[in-house]
Amino acid sequence: MSLYRIRLRLEAPLGTGLTSGTLFGHLCWARRARHGAAALERWLRAMAAGDEPPCLVSDGFPAGLLPRPLLPPPPVPDDADPAAADTAKRCRRRRWVRREDWLELRAGLSAARLASALVDWQPSFATRAHNRIDRHTGTTPETAGLWFVDDDWSHARRLPDGRDDPTAPLRDVYVSTALAPEDVFSLFVEIGQQGYGRDATYGRGRWSVEAVEPDPVLAACAGERLMSLSHGCLSAGMAEARWERWTHFGKVGIELAAAGARPFKRPVLLMRPGATWRHGPGPFGALLTGVHQDRPEVVHNAWHLAIPYTEVRS
């Protein structure tokens, strides 16, 4: 198993966030297009049975950033002044940590030591309104018909002086896999050419792959705890876990929907990236089955790609 850091350059808006399970689903469709349905099914069965190491995929993060780990909050002093309380509140809203700071602090991590490394990065969202159509009348309802979707337009983000932000379109995805780096590169290239997520047929979710590089540094730490980079599920071996829940409302690929399958999967309750736990034997998370009402072959990758660290008191 090798850990790779994949650098993507967004070339169009994202209709769907770069979540680990959806990225894995697109990797499966790309493998199916290249090697056939039977080869994909054999690969998934081998991973589910433990005959082959699982393919672990992270979410897509802003370049050079990692999710903020869930750590015990620092103690609140009895004589805390309002200004300090406001500072602590702003700090809690910051969701990202710089990768280089993580590597420096991970041998002795605490909320107090992490505070100066936190970053408040927000994507550039554009909201679009849609109107629902009543299937009985064929018209839009007079009330309660509007619904809204957010597209991530960070690929076209501007700096305050009006110039394009060269770092905004860049995303980092981490993959731990037995696949060769050239296979990982070609699969992500194919996804970027076909389009990722919602409204790919209208040009959303296009990217180019700038690099696929081995990344042994991120996992090179003898920590007793782990932080997840994925949307995964709770499983055995994840003791003293801290996590925030997130509900995944998945859909099947367009090829399966065109074959007559219901487009919607069952909702799945997952842990957000940044979840932490004291680890036992892995792997952590699971390849979930039973996520579609009619198609038992449909699965969801809820394995965690997790990196080690050591926790200390603040």
> Mind spelling out the 3-state secondary structure of the chain?
CEEEEEEEEECCCECCCCCHHHHHHHHHHHHHHHHCHHHHHHHHHHHHHCCCCCCEEEEEEECCEEECCCCCCCCCCCCCCHHHHHHHHHHHCCCEEEHHHHHHHCCCECHHHHHHHEECCCCCEEEEEEECCCCCCCCCCCCCCEEEEEEECHHHCECCCCCECCCCCEEEEEEEECCCHHHHHHHHHHHHHHCCCCCHHHCCCCEEEEEEEECCCCCCCCCCEEEECCCECCCCCEEEEECCEEEECCECCHHHHHCCCCCECCCEEEECCCCEEEECCCCCCCEECCCCCCCCCCCEECCCCEEEECECCC
C-alpha to C-alpha distance for 73 and 101, rounded to whole angstroms? 19
Fill in the amino acid letter for 166. P
Give residue 133's pLDDT: 75
Residue 139, C-beta contacts closer than 8 angstroms, at least 6 positions apart:
133
Residue 194, C-beta contacts closer than 8 angstroms, at least 6 positions apart:
30, 200
Domain ranges of the chain: 2-72+82-124+152-309
Match 């980092």 to its residue by tokens: 172
C-alpha to C-alpha distance for 77 and 129, rounded to whole angstroms? 46
| Tens place of pLDDT per residue across the chain (314 aa) | 799 999 999 999 999 999 999 999 999 999 999 999 899 999 999 998 888 899 999 999 999 999 999 998 877 666 666 666 666 667 777 899 999 999 999 999 998 889 888 988 888 877 777 777 776 777 777 776 777 778 888 888 777 777 878 778 999 999 999 999 999 999 999 999 999 998 888 889 999 999 999 999 998 888 899 999 999 999 988 999 999 999 999 888 877 777 778 888 999 999 999 999 998 887 899 999 999 988 888 899 999 999 999 998 76
Closest CA to 31 of 255, 267, 303, 285: 255
Match 């994925």 to its residue by tokens: 230
Residue 126, C-beta contacts closer than 8 angstroms, at least 6 positions apart:
13, 150, 151, 153
C-alpha to C-alpha distance for 166 and 173, rounded to whole angstroms? 18
What tokens appear for 113 in the block?
């030591």
C-alpha to C-alpha distance for 311 and 226, rounded to whole angstroms? 10
CA–chain centroid gap for 260, Å, is 28
State pLDDT tens for residues 200-248.
888 899 999 999 999 999 988 888 999 999 999 999 889 999 999 999 9
Give residue 76's pLDDT: 66
Give residue 79's pLDDT: 63
Give residue 77's pLDDT: 65
Q: Which residues pair with 6 in a beta bridge?
A: 173, 212
- Contact of 85 with 29, CB cutoff 8 Å: no
Give residue 150's pLDDT: 82
- How are beta strands 125-131 and 146-152 bridged, if at all? antiparallel
Give residue 101's pLDDT: 95
Match 């290239």 to its residue by tokens: 189
Give residue 63's pLDDT: 94
